Structure 1
Amino acid sequence: MTCPSCNSDDYEILKTKGKKNKELLVKCNDCEHTYWTPAPEEVHAVKVRVIISEFEKSWKTSVELFSDEYLEVGTLLYIDDKDVEVTSIENSEEKRVFECPVIDIKTIWAKSLDTQARIGLTIDNHGIVLSHKIEVERDFIFAIGDVGEVYGKKFRIYAFKTLERNMRKGYAYAKVIKRIYGRLLPNNDKSKVKYDLSEYVVKTTIKDKEKNKDNYFN
């Protein structure tokens, strides 16, 4: 509470009245102005519904937060023995918002941080596309221009799609990358391989408009 006369927050409570809507008679210790003001609401725990995603799986749970807090997208929470990051918030009006008072939150969406980062890896060979899903440590760093290898075939990274933007230069951590784009290098290319991602592949798909998958490896 601040004094309406001098904005000081140094005060003394002289009297209270009311039960449900309590008011306080307050005296400012700086300017001695006396005034009635609504009593601040007592802070209490609020149980909020949470939906946590972990790759293709998701589950519903809840978390207790304090009524005087704000929550925003990107906040880290510890729920069900897992570190999670808030990815979306739905308020009491069923609207998605970036931040919201806890007392107005209907649902929190979050993603588990206790898993590795899952990234799409698209490697192009003149129109024949090899698409992988890889899982690496969240702090693994990829850079535009890096030469990687998958199952003995080398590729050079030329772009990223991250959570916020597309990138054609620079580097990014795996935890913010959604997809990596690369071009297959010829078998006689002498570029030094920075990392072999073969052991991190969890799924592979080949897309060839001519239905000739063998062309990819030639």
Structure 2
Amino acid sequence: MIDECLAVEFEVGGDDCPLAAATRAVDVRIDSRPPQLREDGNVLLQFRAPSDPQLQETLDSDDRVRYLHVSDSRSEASYRCLSKHPCVVHELVSAGCMVESVQYEDGRALVTGAVVGRDVLQGVMERAGKTVGVKLRRAYQLQSQDEPSPSQQWDITPKQEACIRAALEVGYFSIPREATASEVADRLGISKSAFLERLHRAQRTLFEQLFL
């Protein structure tokens, strides 16, 4: 049985990987999946960012980037490419960090993931200390499986809970709003109408339980 699973956030500064370098040159935020190290030594990068010709030009001009593919939407684009540059994230993964996502902005990266146990966290930190500018920003214990989830506590469905979580993560509820309904829906892999319906049903259920 796993006694303790910790959610962690690492901040990476001083890394010269293509995505960090691109956000130093262009004022954008890049939301990336964990980079995948291939058997041929290349790194597969899959990420989303605002549709910006300057970003695409910056990546195209980077000699370390190969086979850049861009799929544009009205306000956001999906990118896919290979990189010949080794990624710091692989050092964290090798030490036992289960990386979930990487966010690049202003030349820095925010790595979110999880580790199992304090001993593993210590090992990850020791490995990180040998790399460029990696520091732990936050670590907190994940909810035990024995504890009820918000969907169980508040009588909403797991899909409705996922919509609320995704909306919170991308700033949909922020003032001013930092993400559109379409962007949250894309993150969830559902249609905009499905996202809004689940969100509104969840809000109604929560409000009824709180105020009626």
TM-score by length of 1: 0.20
Higher strand fraction: Structure 1 or Structure 2?
A: 1
Q: Which has the larger radius of gyration?
A: 1
TM-score by length of 2: 0.21
Higher helix fraction: Structure 1 or Structure 2?
A: 2
Higher RCO (C-alpha under 8 Å, 6+ residues apart):
2
